[in-house]
Structures are given as structure tokens and as C-alpha cells.
Amino acid sequence: MTGLCSTYSAMSQQYQFISEFKTWAEAQESCRKAHIDLATVEDMRSMRSLLKTVDPQYLGLVWIGLERGMEQRWQWSLWNSSQTITYTNWGEGEPDGPGDTCAMKYEEIWTDAFCSIVTEFICFDESDGKYIAVDIKKPWHEAQLYCRANYTDLAPIPNSTVEKEIEKIAGPYWYWTGLFQDSWEWSDKRQMSSFRYWMSGKPDNYGGEEGCTAIDMSNGGLWDDLSCNNNLPFICLGEGKKQIVQVTFSSVGDLRLNDLSVAILEQIKSKLIASGLPPDIRLTWRRQSDGRLFRPRQ
């Protein structure tokens, strides 16, 4: 089996602020001609890097590459969405939507709920791998901002082992996890980041015509959904130092590589750091032309 792994460092991520005012589609065309595409944001580190490129005197709205798509899908606030969700623990009849686009947990049961519900939540700290139960009650998006400001993000639950660990610290309460559902997708289809940084109450699709995303420089760079016909400056994604490598696997028996994709990336990352690459190197699986992460070697 073979897979394509994209490797790059946050220090090499290159964003370009373009001060010309264009519609979202015009900005996309301009970025694709002169750079790679409209900006993709993958985590808080790249978000901070992006904000530094904007003229400090400008306090308006700026286009990035996120647009409303057609397909609703569940994904983790922290993880890159190219990493398929293979573990869930929904209660009977859940998720039942519509309109319930955030996931909360009570003891062993998951349920989808309106993101505006106020409840406790679980944060995750990537620096030490610990989960933190926060007994402050907040709606989902505010809980997400709290976790990102104080730790890393709202908690992902990748498997039953982590779920049992969380249950030991959470107690018998309803609490938010990092699982959410939306249809937003990046202009650069090679990058499938699930990172979102919406301001409170957004996206709201006011008037049913807000299909594109801008960062608000007067509000700490938080995101707003707008009509794509607005004329705004924009941020392009530059080349940066990125490398695509083909990884070949051999196995005996039935090996479900999609289930192990996260663990495989961690092993590759450890070896690359040991060989001298910077500790902030980030790796993602790149979907191949047929949409799969892995395929049999020819």
C-alpha cells in the first residue's frame, strides 16, 4: 500500500497580504495566478502567522480561502479532517439533527446539540497529552476559544481508551467535546483543515447569501461569513517549504490503514525530528486523485 504525506514547518508557512479590494472569486483567481491559492488556516500557529502579514494600520475585513460547500460532515476541532473519523459513540438514534451541529457527551453517550447550549467542556493540551475538565459553562464556540487560549483545543476522542480517560475526570455531567459538523471547505482542495475561528454567533448565513469567509482585524482576527460579492483585500498562500513524499507499507493479514493513519503520522514525525527537522514540523495525509488516502502499490 502507498500513501502521500505532506510535510512542512509552521516557520516556513508563507502568507501574502494583498491590499487590492476584490470579490472572493476575483481574489481566488488572483491568488491562483500569482501564488498557490487563497489562504488556508490549519491551527492557531498558522492563524497567528497569517495575522502578522496584514498591514497593522488596516482594521477591516480580509478574505481567506474558506467557502460554504454542499456536504455536511462531522470533524474534530483540533484535527486535520483528512484524518478520517473512525471512532464514535453516539447514543441510540443519534445524531438526529437537523440544526444540531455540535457534539456533547454524558458519561458514555454522545449526542448532537445546538451549539448555543451552555454547558461544561473538556479541553486538550497537546504539550503534555492531558485532558482538562473545565467546570465553567459556555456555548460550544466560546468553549473552543477558551481551550485554544489556555490549552490547545476542545478535546478530540479518537478511540475508546481516550474516552475512558476523559470519563475519569469529567464526572456525571453533560460537557462539550471538540466534535462539530459543517459544510465549509477550503479553496485549496489539497488542504482539508478542520480548523475554524468563528466569532460568536457566526456563521449565521444572514439573508441566505453568506457563503465566503473573512477575518475581522478589528476583532482579533475572528472569522465572519459574508456575501462573496463584497470587495475586500485578501490573503494568499505562498509556496513555503513543503515536501510531498510517497510512503510505502507492507503488512501481513488485514491491516486497516485508515484507522491507523494518525498513529503512522506520529511515528513518521518522530523519525523526522530525530533526523534534525524542526520540532514544529506538521504532517498531513494528502488525498490521492481517486479521493483515497491509501491505495495498493502498482
Question: What are the structural domain ranges in the chain?
Answer: 74-182
| pLDDT > 60? residue 264 | yes
Cα 54 to chain center, whole Å? 22
pLDDT at residue 82, rounded to an integer: 46
Helix (H) or strand (E) holding 32: helix 24-34
63-84 burial, b at 16+ Cβ within 10 Å, e below that, comes to: bbbbbbeeeeebbbbbbbbbbe
- 42's enclosing H/E stretch is none
Q: What are the residues whose beta carbons fall under 8 Å from the beta carbon of 292, sequence distance 6 or more?
A: none
Beta-carbon contacts of 298 under 8 Å, excluding residues fewer than 6 positions away, are: none
One-letter amino acid identity for 58? Y
Instruction: Give the largest Cα separation in the chain, rounded.
Output: 60
Confidence of residue 263 (pLDDT cuts 50, 70, 90): confident
- Find the angle CA(47)-CA(70)-CA(231) to the nearest 5 degrees: 55
Q: What is the mean pLDDT of the chain?
A: 85
40-80 pLDDT tens trace:
998 888 999 999 999 999 999 999 999 999 988 899 998 65
Q: What is the pTM of this model?
A: 0.72
Lookup: cell for 106: 454524558
